[in-house]
Amino acid sequence: MYHSDMNETLRLIIAQQQHNLKSHFPIISRDTEIIPVPRKATVIIGIRRSGKSTWQHEKMENLLSSGVPSESICYIDFSDDRLDFLRTEESDPAVIADTYYGMYPEKHGQRIYFLFDELQYVNRWAQFINRIQTTENCEVYITGSSAKLLSKEIATELGGRTYTWEMFPFSFREFLRANNRSESITDISSRDEIIGSFGEYVTKGGMPERLLLPREAMAALYFQNLVHDVLTRDIMLRYNIQHPVQLKRLVQMLMTNFSRLFSVNKLKQRLAGERNKLSHELIRDYIDKMIDCYLLFTVPIRSYNTAVQAVNPKKVYCADHAMAQAFSRATSENNGFALENMIFVELRRTMEHVYYYKTAHGDEIDFAVGPDADLRLIQVCWELRGQGKTRDREMKALLDGMKELELQESWLITAYEEEEVKDEETSRTIHVVPAYKWLLQPWVPM
């Protein structure tokens, strides 16, 4: 494509978007507060279809509402096939700024808002972002699903001139907002409505598009297609994966094992038993790539000894509990695994490092989070069922953990049950909290 043709295509796209900055669909305001940092590009990353592009539209609507003229906003979605010429090795993304300022020469020196979606498709995008940030008066917002936009890569390519924010699927509070329901418990009626909504959240999860499906029967296929899309576009094509069949099978194994312990050795053995051989190194590499794409997360045992972390199995969680359930057989245990996954994602929204804890007696506590000075133990159980074995097991693990770590309180999150359990001998307290309450105001260290 000739340079003049590139300019013309870009002019057309920029002008079209400026006449179409407001979203055609209702925008659900997110709780993730994304604040621009002067002289740094604001980068928003997360799993595909978690709402990053919608956030950009909300940002543009807010800019327009605050009096910013549409001509001062340059929004481009680089997944547009008309912009394929920017993906070639010989292309120069400088044409983007040249075209915009060619359309509005008077904007040089004025505050301009560049919002770029799926920028990773553009060749040499990092150099381009560096250049406009240092030469123009602008705010730059970048979203993308690909691991290529991960903060560790951006830090290398942009030399620290970015600030990265993570976007997760809807929290329970955002799920309520999306369904126009009360987000707080003020009386019995609102409590009952929130309890009913929590049951829906367990089933549907928090992926925004999932809530728009016209039929429940479409959900499993929707999630399976989404996972296939992540694997194909964010892993296989980008890294030229040589073992696509084994990668897909590995994902299925991890998905069906969500909220449980896994080890690379056992995964290797299972794959080999199905004649899908992969080395330890490749399995670890593929899991790292799934984590990079925000598809899966792994949680190590809490220990300052890296050797202890290395030899102990990790727990695996999915970006969305309903997505993981689409790969699992329906069993009575699944609600408990879904609840644990839900609590993990809520913890992960506010902190990067989440661990599980194992007591001296070998009992597992689902989460140990926060710094030593404010360490919290959190156990998750769908229901305690009165005075049965489940209750005794969960309580004993927490009491042992509190004693070992010299803590006076811990939390046990259930689906619907609530009580305070005080150990008379040690005065230690276990707060039994229903998830529908905890999710509205997570009691976690900040």
CATH of domain 3-167: 3.40.50.300
Q: What is the pTM of this model?
A: 0.94
Pairing of strands 355-358, 364-369: antiparallel
Right CATH number for 213-329 from 1.10.3470, 1.10.10, 3.10.560, 1.20.58?
1.10.10
Average pLDDT, the chain: 92
- Please state, in angstroms and rounded to a whole number, the distance separating the CA atoms of residues 414 and 383: 6
For residue range 33-58, what is the model confidence (pLDDT) as tens digits?
899 998 899 999 899 999 999 999 99
Pairing of strands 296-299, 314-318: antiparallel
Residue 386 pLDDT > 90: no
Q: Where in the chain is the domain with CATH 1.10.10?
A: 213-329
- Stretch (H or E) spanning 376: strand 376-380
Q: Is 386 left (phi over 0), alpha (psi -120 to 50) or beta?
A: left
For residue range 126-177, what is the model confidence (pLDDT) as tens digits?
889 999 999 999 999 998 766 556 555 665 677 778 888 999 999 999 999 9
For residue range 94-110, what is the model confidence (pLDDT) as tens digits?
999 999 999 999 999 99
Q: Which positions ≥6 away from 336 have C-beta within 8 Å? A: 259, 380, 381, 382
CA distances, 370 to each of 117, 294, 353, 393, 443 (Å): 34, 22, 8, 24, 11
Question: What is the SS3 assignment for 427?
Answer: coil
